[in-house]
Amino acid sequence: MDIIRAELADRGVVLPPENEAVILRAIHATADFDFAENLTFTPGAAEKAVAALRAGADIVTDTNMARAGVSKTALAKLGGSVYCYMADEAVAKRAKAGGVTRAAVSMEAAAQEHPAAVYAVGNAPTALLALCGLIDEGLRPALIIGVPVGFVNVVESKEVLLKTCQRLNVPAIVAVGRKGGSTVAAAICNALLYTAAGQLDPRDR
């Protein structure tokens, strides 16, 4: 982290204090300093998510890879759990019957069980679009992390998410552009978790 801070200083980049932990951990996970510029936060998003996690909010991911990367120790300390419905048999059946992606149906399933969770999407644009529809219908999650990576509908889905969350006052952290991934989604979750649990210093974990 000291190396990252020094390089940011050399580049003349000053991070907003309220978002610093998230941006630093995204860079730490990827060695990509573009995240200092492309991570976009709705007002108070990180602070609101930290408060929700301290109150025991769960985390929902769109991939088991992201789920595996979330710190279970920090989350358990706060009273929460992490879930991913992608491999759920009922989700697969509904997706096949409806001709839609499992990612979209997994968000619908998660919303029924964990409406106030932190949602971390690092892979599937269709998961983001499904969440946008659910938000329009009244879902109010603690936070949506929108960081899918790739080339097909990635940029567009992030733009829709950001506009939807801004319009309806839902906290969001979005990696504008093509970059992101499950690793970034987990890294952002962990930055928020370590902040909430008072474990930003590795010696406290």
In a domain, 20, yes or no: no
Choosing from 28, 54, 77, 94, the catalytic residue is: 28
pLDDT in tens, 185-205: 999 999 999 999 999 888 887
Q: Provide the number of structural domains found in the chain.
A: 1
In a domain, 12, yes or no: no
- Domain range spanning residue 144? 37-200
N- to C-terminal Cα distance for the chain? 16
Q: Which residues of the chain are modeled with pLDDT < 50?
A: none
**What integer pLDDT is reported at residue 202 of this predicted model?**
82
Going from the C-alpha of 150 to that of each of 16, 27, 34, 50, 196, the distances in angstroms are: 27, 18, 15, 28, 30
Length of the chain: 205
Residue whose C-alpha is closest to residue 115's, from 126, 107, 105, 103: 107
In a domain, 9, yes or no: no
Residue pointed to by tokens 């992390």: 145
Tokens of 145: 């992390």
Which helix or strand (DSSP H or E) is residue 173 part of? strand 172-175
In a domain, 79, yes or no: yes
d(Cα 87, Cα 153) in Å, to the nearest integer?
23
**What integer pLDDT is reported at residue 201 of this predicted model?**
84
In a domain, 45, yes or no: yes
Domain CATH number, residue 146: 3.40.50.10230
- Asked whether 80 and 59 are in contact (CB, 8 A), the reply is yes
d(Cα 25, Cα 168) in Å, to the nearest integer?
28
In a domain, 115, yes or no: yes
In a domain, 25, yes or no: no
Q: Is 114 a catalytic residue?
A: no
Tokens of 10: 């050399």
In a domain, 29, yes or no: no
Tokens of 146: 């929108």
